[in-house]
Amino acid sequence: MSTLKEAINRAQLGTLADAFRKLGIGDILRALPTQLIGVAPATGNLYVGSPMHVITLPTDAKAIACLAVYARAGGGTLGPLVANTHTAPDAGSYFVNPTGDIEFAVADAWTKLDLVYFPAKVDRYEMTLPVAANTATLQAAYTAKGVQLAMQIESLAGTLVSKMIVDPPGTAPATGHAALNLAKTTIAFNAADVVTSCRVLLGVGPAIDVNALLEETDTTIL
């Protein structure tokens, strides 16, 4: 018996469709390294902060890492930019935000960027959660799969009802902000916001384990 990988390599028309369906081929293609050419950051992403300059990526292709960014036009020094692990990028740098979007220094005022990034291969789940003592607890069904990022967090009830700026995991959030804990099992809010209910859009480890499927015995040919 061969593995599923070997069966796909044989490319027999009678079995390829079943193999691709089993693997979720569309999700695999969406998670391939992605090149964007001539894009411009913009303001208005309320989960990052309205003054920030951000390339807001689709919810099925948020960044887990950025490989390279090159500035071709704007107010800063043109050329390659450097990665910055801080929450606010310095001039000439970029930052993969906790939401999976890519943030740039406002002063650089880029109008044309080329970049290559790795999309996060995740399943998306949107849910409404109760908040008690400034903390929302994520269901075990999601934490067991491995929560990767919170793309959106919104307060639905409380003193502050608003889309929340998402801070890095483990951060003690200021008012108007929220953050996953380091274990990515809960979401913290600022006590002054008195949030009692929230909406969350999570990226969670995918249900389809492509690595395991490729190594297992092929069952598409009987």
Encode pLDDT of 134-179 as tens digits: 999 999 999 999 999 999 999 999 999 999 999 999 999 999 999 9
User: Which has the higher per-residue pLDDT, 60 or 17?
Assistant: 60
Distance CA(10)–CA(83), nearest Å, equals 41
Neighbours of 203 (CB within 10 A): 23
Q: Is residue 1 a contact partner of residue 217, using CB atoms and an 8 Å limit?
A: yes
| Greatest alpha-carbon span in the chain | 62
The yes-or-no verdict on residue 42 having pLDDT over 90 is yes
Average pLDDT for 39-56: 93
pLDDT band at 218 (very low <50, low <70, confident <90, very high): low
pLDDT band at 1 (very low <50, low <70, confident <90, very high): low
Average pLDDT for 85-105: 90
Average pLDDT for 25-32: 87
Which residues are registered as beta bridge partners of 113? 39, 71
Q: Is residue 217 a contact partner of residue 5, using CB atoms and an 8 Å limit?
A: no
Residue 217 has a pLDDT of 76
Which residues are registered as beta bridge partners of 36? 115
Q: Is residue 190 a contact partner of residue 158, using CB atoms and an 8 Å limit?
A: no
Q: DSSP secondary-structure letter at 108?
A: G
The yes-or-no verdict on residue 94 having pLDDT over 60 is yes
Q: Domain locations in the chain?
A: 31-119, 123-204
Element (H, E) at 20: helix 13-23
Phi and psi based region of residue 79 (left: phi greater than 0; alpha: psi -120 to 50; beta: remaining): left
Tell me the pLDDT of the chain averaged across its residues. Answer: 92
φ/ψ of residue 7, rounded to 5 = -65, -40
Residue 220 has a pLDDT of 59
Residue 108 has a pLDDT of 96
Residues 172-211 pLDDT 10s: 999 999 999 999 999 999 999 999 999 999 999 998 888 8
Q: DSSP secondary-structure letter at 89?
A: P
* Amino acid at position 38, single letter: G
Cβ within 8 Å of residue 220, ≥6 positions away: 4, 7, 15, 18, 19, 22
Distance CA(181)–CA(202), nearest Å, equals 14
Q: Is residue 20 a contact partner of residue 221, using CB atoms and an 8 Å limit?
A: no
Q: Where are the alpha helices (DSSP H) in the chain?
A: 4-10, 13-23, 25-30, 140-143, 210-215
Maximum average pLDDT range among 18-22, 114-118, 209-213: 114-118
The yes-or-no verdict on residue 222 having pLDDT over 50 is no
φ/ψ of residue 170, rounded to 5 = 90, -5
Average pLDDT for 10-26: 80
